[in-house]
């Protein structure tokens, strides 16, 4: 059974890697989404942005950086840091390197590599940012172990994971019953140009409940600094179109978003941990 699961895992990884290899459209869509207002800002949650800017120092890794838009934003925001962006597809890395050179960003570096075997030495980074990536990878625990290996003592890891499943799956019931687990998906890997939602729905290889992610981070050896599954953006997305009772409920939930079991209610997990 274990051998069979290993084969399935390898086949899925090959399938996903192939889908990303030369998918220029995918990376162009990501750049357009991330840099809606240019490199002076980046289109990610306020919670994530604040965590990054408050911990942006030394050597920084953008893990699964795609076409490099987030790493370019970090490099431009702090010329004193050295930012490294790593991803598997050569096409994304090439796109990032070309734009970085064009904009004369000299403190950004690009690497091609698998997050389960990152080609750098131990204790290399002061900060690792993993934005909307873990839901696309195979072998989440292996990736977290690599992050621990390459992070310096006292370094920070910021992870943002989005899941498209219903909030019920991430609710306190699953947390209370300890039934949450990483659910493997079988993505179609079909991209409809112009559909950002489609990129998420069709390219996610797994869904990761907050409780499971937190536990795995602790298992690897990380110390949890902060986390929430109820980020600010939930109040910005079509909030005024909700019925009054739902708007009141959302505001109440958001007010206590950092406390169990409410911190397990959302479909988006934002967590920062440190290496002791």
Which residue in 202, 249, 161 sits closest to 25, CA to CA? 202
- Judge if the upstream peptide bond of residue 261 is cis by omega within 30 degrees of 0: yes
pLDDT confidence of residue 20: 77
**What share of the chain has pLDDT > 90, as a percent?**
44
Contact 157, 131 (CB under 8 A): no
Of the listed ranges 10-19, 66-75, 109-118, the one predicted with least confidence: 10-19
pLDDT bin (cut points 50, 70, 90) of residue 8 is: low
Q: What's the pLDDT tens digit per position in 92-116?
A: 999 999 999 999 999 999 999 999 9
pLDDT confidence of residue 223: 97
pLDDT confidence of residue 63: 98
pLDDT bin (cut points 50, 70, 90) of residue 24 is: confident
**CATH superfamily label, 2-275:** Vaccinia Virus protein VP39 (3.40.50.150)
**Sheet of strand 222-228, all strands in order from the earlier edge strand to the far edge:** 108-112, 82-87, 59-63, 125-131, 151-162, 268-275, 222-228
DSSP-derived 3-state class of residue 151: strand
Top-confidence residue, 124 or 17? 124
Element (H, E) at 228: strand 222-228
Mark residue 168 as left, alpha or beta (left: phi above 0; alpha: psi -120 to 50; beta: remaining): alpha
The residues, any chain, with a CB within 8 Å of residue 132's CB and separated by 6 or more, are 160, 161, 162
């Amino acid at each position: 059974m274990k051998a069979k699961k290993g084969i399935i895992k390898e086949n899925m990884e090959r399938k996903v890697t192939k889908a990303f290899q030369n998918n220029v459209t995918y990376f162009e869509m990501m750049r357009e989404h991330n840099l809606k207002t240019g490199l002076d800002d980046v289109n990610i949650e306020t919670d994530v942005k604040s965590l990054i800017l408050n911990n942006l120092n030394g050597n920084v890794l953008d893990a699964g950086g795609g076409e490099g838009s987030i790493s370019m934003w970090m490099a431009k925001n702090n010329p004193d840091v050295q930012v490294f962006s790593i991803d598997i597809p050569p096409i994304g890395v090439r796109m990032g390197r070309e734009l970085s050179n064009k904009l004369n960003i000299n403190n950004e570096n690009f690497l091609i590599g698998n997050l389960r075997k990152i080609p750098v030495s131990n204790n290399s980074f002061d900060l690792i940012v993993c934005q909307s990536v873990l839901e696309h990878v195979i072998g989440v625990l292996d990736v977290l172990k690599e992050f621990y290996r390459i992070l310096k003592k006292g370094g920070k890891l910021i992870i943002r994971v989005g899941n498209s499943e219903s909030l019920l799956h991430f609710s306190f019931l699953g947390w209370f019953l300890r039934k949450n687990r990483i659910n493997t998906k079988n993505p179609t890997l079909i991209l409809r140009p112009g559909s950002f939602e489609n990129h998420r729905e069709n390219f996610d290889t797994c869904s990761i409940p907050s409780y499971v992610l937190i536990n795995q981070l602790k298992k690897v050896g990380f110390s949890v600094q902060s986390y929430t599954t109820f980020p600010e953006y939930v109040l910005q997305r079509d909030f005024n179109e909700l019925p009054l009772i739902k708007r009141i409920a959302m505001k109440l939930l958001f007010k206590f978003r950092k406390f169990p079991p409410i911190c397990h209610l959302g479909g988006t997990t934002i967590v920062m941990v440190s290496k002791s």
